[in-house]
Amino acid sequence: MSHHIVETRHLKHVYADGTMALKDVSFRIEHGESVGIIGANGAGKSTLLLHLNGYLRATSGDIIIGDGQLTKESLTVIRRTVGMVFQDPDDQLFMPTVYDDVAFGPINQGLSPAEVEARVSEALSRVEADELRDKPPYHLSGGEKKRIAIATVLSMRPEILVLDEPTNGLDPYARRQLIALLKAFHHTRIVTSHDLDMVLELCERTIVLHEGKVMADGPTLEIFQDDALLNTCRLEKPFAMQGCPICAPCRRPFPEQTPLIEPHSSRPHDHDH
């Protein structure tokens, strides 16, 4: 049983049109960690994710996933190990019914029909969507689609779950449901998001990307208390932390601006520093 680490070393990616999306990205994520990757739009988050399952190939630098380096030959294995959930569930649910979508991965892995059936049932019950089995995807709600999209990846039994903006476009209830779901997983979780409150709740470690480089990499709470860093990277504190008397005494997120709505935290966050 390997350690299922995810490691990048001096990763650099330049697109065909010359845009340097990633300049120098290095980090190491151990098995079972829950890591948030945050940054402004255009910081390189999505590009980085696409490297993790081999869709994009780095201009220079190394990626190590699980046992070995990411190479053309190891792609099939990598894609089974790393389960990627994309931003728009409509892109991910392309089969006629939910069952077909969730079964797509296992069928491609060459499993027998009985095994496929077992995997699908398992995945659907983990996302609490057993009753949606035979439905066509376009009749599902946003929250249901998101959960099924996760199920399509879970049925392949990945070791590492990568999610790109999972709470995007969800209503509060669906968002709450999704966060609870993700908390219950014990995989290595790598999440990119603008939903900083979710990152605060879900991820004990955060990596901050800015203009293709890693600006910070450490415990989530520490990062969110570093106002200067957040400022530089076009970020701010999660809403739950804004106006907290201990973290930010009498200070607004952006000193030169006044927020439109007085932020107030309904849930106190942990102060174990």
Partner 1 sequence: MLAIDGSFLDFKQLDLLALRQTAIHRLDPRAKLLTTLCFIVCVVSFDKYEISAMLPFLIYPTALVAVGDLPAGYILRKVLIVIPFALMIGLFNPIFDRQVIMQFGAFDIWGGWVSCLSILTRAILTASAAIILVATTGFPAICEALEKLKMPQPFAVQLLFLYRYIFVLTDEGVRTARARQLRTFGRRGLGIRHFGSLAGHLLLRTWERAERIHMAMLARGFSGEVHSRRRQSHFGKQDLLFTVCWVILFILLRLYNAPQLLGSLFTGDL
CB of 106 or CB of 243, closer to partner 1: 106
Three-state DSSP at 136 gives coil
Residue choice 58, 70, 104, 192 for contact with partner 1 (CB under 8 A) = 104
Backbone dihedral region of 190: left (phi > 0), alpha (psi from -120 to 50 degrees) or beta?
A: beta
Is residue 100 near partner 1 by the rule CB under 8 A?
yes
107 touches partner 1 (CB under 8 A): yes
Residue written as tokens 């190891």? 74
Handedness of CA 45, 54, 203, 152 (dihedral sign): positive
- How many residues touch partner 1 under the rule CB under 8 A: the total is 34
Q: What are the backbone dihedrals phi and psi of residue 177, each rounded to the nearest 5 degrees, phi first?
A: -60, -40
Is 58 a binding residue for partner 1 by CB under 8 A? The answer is no
The contact mask relative to partner 1 for 225-264 (x = CB under 8 A, - = no) is ----------------------------------------
Q: Count of residues for the chain? A: 273
C-beta closer to partner 1: residue 76 or 125: 76
The CA distance from 177 to 194, in Å, is: 18
Find the part of the chain contacting partner 1 (CB under 8 A) among 12-20, 83-91, 173-181, 261-269. 83-91
Which positions from 18 through 57 interact with partner 1, judged by CB under 8 A? 50, 53, 55
Q: How far apart are CA 201 and CA 258, in angstroms?
A: 26
139 near partner 1, judged by CB under 8 A? yes
Amino acid at 180: A
**Where does residue 18 rank: exposed (0-12), middle (13-18), buried (19+ CB within 10 A)?**
exposed
Q: Which residue ranges make up the site for partner 1 (CB under 8 A)? A: 50, 53, 55, 76, 79-80, 83-84, 86, 88, 90-92, 94-97, 99-100, 103-105, 107-109, 113, 116, 136-139, 152-153, 156
